[in-house]
């Protein structure tokens, strides 16, 4: 049986066997050996956050006289190579690892040092050069925040904008489609389908606003505090230089923490963001479930709208089609709620000057951001833009609802209106007929009072 070729690497604890083809070194291999837990790796958005910091740190350290120009240039080239995606398989450490993220920080340091050594033709060291002026304790959370900022601006917020735009387009299209409102899942006074969709759009826009508030908080990072927030071994101006380079290159609102001891010991900004994501998930769930209810049928449900047919819905019932995208959205919501619980619990693990659940916090929040973005795009392109309204069925429900008798209150009073509604239900007659039979209103008056479209505009109908 063939075995993988190995080479010997060493660190401060001694020698370690490492796969000969691997770009990483001894500390990465120790973590691989120590944490064979889930088989899941950190998201590349977090890894790239680390690499971007190494990229900016190299140039800043050269500027501050910490690194020779040639070493800094080699590190920059190595970072650019990694950022192009050529070495994604060189970051094998499990998400369940040391709570500071030191293992993954060193993984990035070792890979970049290996590549930089090749570019320079001389040794570039992972700790002394790539990690110069840094500690895992300030770099890893900064990388987490940077990854979050990039995913919010590049993925989630644009997806939410498209979702809100799609919902608003349907709100306009359905502005004259009158239907029965529902409270407690029971018939209520009329509403337009467009008004319902405007509510969904507004909920998404409010979600965008909450996320933008949280994003500003996430923009404050602990870089420059090194191990415990004091900044030991980081020269003055290091954090400012790194963050300025990241702002210029990536366009992210990132800044040094006002208080490094808070920024080191707590991940409250990420907990706050996760709360905003969970709140938006509630809007997702309402949207998904309302669409499922309104499209239920086709014969024995509400059938007020038709969702695009995407795939067969049953392995046994021919012709059955299900609301698959709203169902997927509901499952995303379940995952986001679970991630929020993980993040909240992880956020509570700030012991003195360090939170010791940072990898799982980063994994959970980046997962929520990713799946909330992709399901938003799927909902727009595969569901919302293709929704069709059954106008006649919606109007029939509106006219059939006993709750339209509410508009009779100003004419005949609450008690008399209640009697009319009860008699209509008992006799299976419409409200107009009962009112006329009782001589309570003239035909002209009852037609005004029971104008279902007028009811959607509020006020007293006269």
CA distances from 80 to 44, 53, 418 (A): 15, 12, 74
Can you name the residues that pair with 350 across neighbouring β-strands? 355
Neighbours of 213 (CB within 10 A): 12
Name 50's Cβ contacts closer than 8 Å, sequence gap at least 6.
104, 105, 108, 139, 140, 143
**What per-residue string of b and e applies to 368-401 under the rule 16 or more CB within 10 Å gives b?**
bbbbbbebbbbbbeebbeebebbeeebbebbbeb
Is-catalytic flag, 264? no
Q: What is the CA radius of gyration of the chain?
A: 30
- C-alpha to C-alpha distance for 220 and 145, rounded to whole angstroms: 8
- C-alpha to C-alpha distance for 27 and 17, rounded to whole angstroms: 11
On whether the CB atoms of residues 374 and 159 are closer than 8 A, the answer is yes
- C-alpha to C-alpha distance for 355 and 333, rounded to whole angstroms: 27
List the Cα angle 283/288/290 in 5-degree steps.
95
Of 172, 314, 348, 427, catalytic: 314
154 secondary structure, DSSP code: I
Coil, helix or strand at residue 40:
coil
Is-catalytic flag, 184? yes
- C-alpha to C-alpha distance for 184 and 242, rounded to whole angstroms: 55
Characterize the bridge pairing of strands 388-389 and 305-306. Answer: antiparallel
Name 443's Cβ contacts closer than 8 Å, sequence gap at least 6.
436
- C-alpha to C-alpha distance for 265 and 277, rounded to whole angstroms: 23
Chain center to CA of 392: 37
Name 128's Cβ contacts closer than 8 Å, sequence gap at least 6.
none
3-state secondary structure labels for all residues of 247-311: HHHHCCCCEECCCHHHHHHCCHHHHHHHHHHHHHHHHHHHHHHHHHHHCCCCCCCCCCEECCCCC
Which residues have a catalytic role annotated?
184, 314
């Amino acid at each position: 049986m063939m075995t993988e070729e190995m080479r010997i690497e060493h660190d401060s604890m001694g020698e370690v066997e490492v796969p000969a083809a691997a770009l990483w070194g001894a500390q990465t291999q120790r973590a691989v050996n120590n944490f064979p837990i889930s088989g899941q790796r950190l998201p590349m958005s977090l890894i790239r956050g680390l690499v971007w910091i190494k990229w900016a740190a190299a140039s800043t350290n050269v500027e501050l006289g910490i690194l020779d120009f040639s070493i800094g240039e080699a590190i920059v080239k190595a970072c650019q190579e990694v950022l192009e995606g050529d070495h994604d398989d060189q970051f094998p450490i499990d998400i369940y690892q040391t709570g500071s993220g030191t293992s993954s920080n060193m993984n990035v340091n070792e890979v970049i040092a290996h590549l930089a050594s090749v570019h320079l033709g001389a040794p570039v060291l992972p700790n002394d050069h790539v990690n110069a002026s840094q500690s895992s304790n300030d770099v890893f959370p900064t990388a987490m925040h940077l990854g979050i900022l990039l995913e919010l601006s590049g993925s989630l917020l644009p997806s939410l904008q498209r979702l809100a735009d799609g919902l608003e387009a349907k709100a306009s299209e359905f502005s004259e489609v009158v239907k029965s409102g529902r409270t407690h899942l029971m018939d209520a006074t009329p509403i337009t389908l467009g008004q319902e969709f405007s509510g969904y759009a507004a909920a998404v826009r409010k979600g965008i606003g909450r996320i933008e508030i949280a994003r500003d908080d996430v923009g404050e990072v602990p870089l420059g505090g090194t191990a415990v927030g004091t900044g030991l071994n980081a020269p003055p101006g290091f954090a400012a230089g790194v963050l300025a380079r990241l702002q210029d290159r990536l366009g992210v609102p990132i800044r040094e923490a006002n208080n490094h001891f808070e920024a080191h010991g707590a991940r409250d900004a990420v907990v706050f963001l996760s709360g905003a994501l969970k709140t938006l998930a509630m809007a997702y769930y309402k949207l998904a479930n309302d669409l499922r209810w309104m499209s239920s049928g086709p014969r024995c449900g509400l059938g007020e709208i038709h969702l695009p047919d995407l795939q067969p819905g049953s392995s046994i019932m021919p012709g059955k089609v299900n609301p698959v995208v709203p169902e997927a959205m509901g499952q995303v919501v379940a995952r986001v709620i679970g991630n929020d619980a993980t993040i909240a619990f992880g956020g509570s693990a700030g012991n003195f000057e360090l939170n010791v659940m940072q990898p799982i916090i980063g994994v959970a929040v980046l997962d929520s951001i990713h799946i909330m973005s992709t399901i938003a795009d799927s909902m727009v392109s595969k569901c919302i833009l293709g929704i069709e309204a059954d106008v006649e069925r919606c109007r029939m429900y509106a006219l059939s609802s006993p709750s339209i008798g509410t508009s009779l209150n100003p004419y005949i009073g609450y008690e008399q209106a209640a009697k009319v509604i009860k008699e209509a239900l008992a006799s299976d007659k419409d409200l107009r007929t009962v009112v006329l039979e009782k001589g309570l209103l003239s035909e002209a008056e009852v037609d005004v009072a029971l104008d279902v479209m007028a009811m959607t505009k509020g006020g007293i109908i006269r």
